Amino acid sequence: MSNFKTILIAIFVGFFIFAVMIFSGIIKIGSDTPANTPQGKIVVWGTFDGPDIQKTLETAISDNKNLTISYVYKPRDAYAQDLIEAFANGSGPDLFIMTPDMINKFEKFALKIPYASYPRKLFSDSYIDGADIYMASDGIIAFPLAVDPMVMYYNKDILSNAGISQPPQFWNELFDFSSRLTTKKDDGTILQSMIGLGRYDNVTNAKDILATLLIQNNNNIIKRNDSGSIFNYTPVLNDNSVSVAGVSLVETILNYFIEFSNPADSAYSWNRSLPSSQDLFTGGKEALYLGRASELFKIQSINPNLSFDVTQILQTQGVSTKRTEGDIYAIAINKQSTNTTAASSVAGLMSSGDNEKNLAINLSLPPALRTLLSDKPTDPYMFTFFNSAIITRSWLDPNSAGSDAIFAELIQNILSNKLSVSDAISKAQSEFEQIVNQ
The 3-class secondary structure across 104-115, one letter per residue, is HHHHHHECCECC
User: Within this chain, do residues 117 and 182 fall inside the same structural domain, yes or no?
Assistant: no
Number of folded domains in the chain? 2
User: Within this chain, do residues 48 and 82 fall inside the same structural domain, yes or no?
Assistant: yes
User: Within this chain, do residues 309 and 320 fall inside the same structural domain, yes or no?
Assistant: yes
Per-residue pLDDT reduced to its tens digit, 177-225: 999 999 999 888 999 999 999 999 999 999 999 999 999 999 999 998 8
Do residues 152 and 289 touch, judged by C-beta distance below 8 A?
yes
DSSP string of 60-120? Answer: HTTT-TTEEEEEEE--HHHHHHHHHHHHHTT---SEEEE-GGGHHHHGGGB-PBPTTTS-H
User: Within this chain, do residues 107 and 7 fall inside the same structural domain, yes or no?
Assistant: yes
Confidence class for position 63, pLDDT limits 50, 70, 90: confident
- Give the per-residue pLDDT at 38: 77
User: Within this chain, do residues 289 and 238 fall inside the same structural domain, yes or no?
Assistant: yes
pTM for the model stands at 0.91
Last residue of a domain, one of 346, 361, 387: 387
Q: How far apart are the first and last CA of the chain?
A: 46
User: Within this chain, do residues 229 and 206 fall inside the same structural domain, yes or no?
Assistant: yes
User: Within this chain, do residues 223 and 367 fall inside the same structural domain, yes or no?
Assistant: no
How many CA within 13 A on the CB side of residue 410? 29
User: Within this chain, do residues 155 and 298 fall inside the same structural domain, yes or no?
Assistant: yes
Per-residue pLDDT reduced to its tens digit, 267-312: 999 999 999 999 999 999 999 999 999 999 999 999 999 999 999 9
Confidence class for position 231, pLDDT limits 50, 70, 90: low
Structural domain of 364: 3-147+327-387
- Mean of pLDDT over the chain: 90
User: Within this chain, do residues 174 and 308 fall inside the same structural domain, yes or no?
Assistant: yes
C-alpha pair distances (Å), 357 with each of 156, 246, 366, 370, 379: 31, 48, 8, 11, 15
Asked if the model's pLDDT at residue 243 lies above 90, the reply is: no
- Residue of 152, 128, 151, 146 lying closest to 364 (CA atoms): 146
User: Within this chain, do residues 165 and 303 fall inside the same structural domain, yes or no?
Assistant: yes
Query: CB neighbours of 277 closer than 8 A, spacing ≥ 6?
Result: 193, 195, 196, 202, 203, 204, 205, 270, 286, 289, 290
Rounded Cα distance, 374 and 384, in Å: 13
Domain holding 303: CATH number?
3.40.190.10
User: Within this chain, do residues 33 and 132 fall inside the same structural domain, yes or no?
Assistant: yes
Asked if the model's pLDDT at residue 78 lies above 90, the reply is: yes
User: Within this chain, do residues 310 and 201 fall inside the same structural domain, yes or no?
Assistant: yes
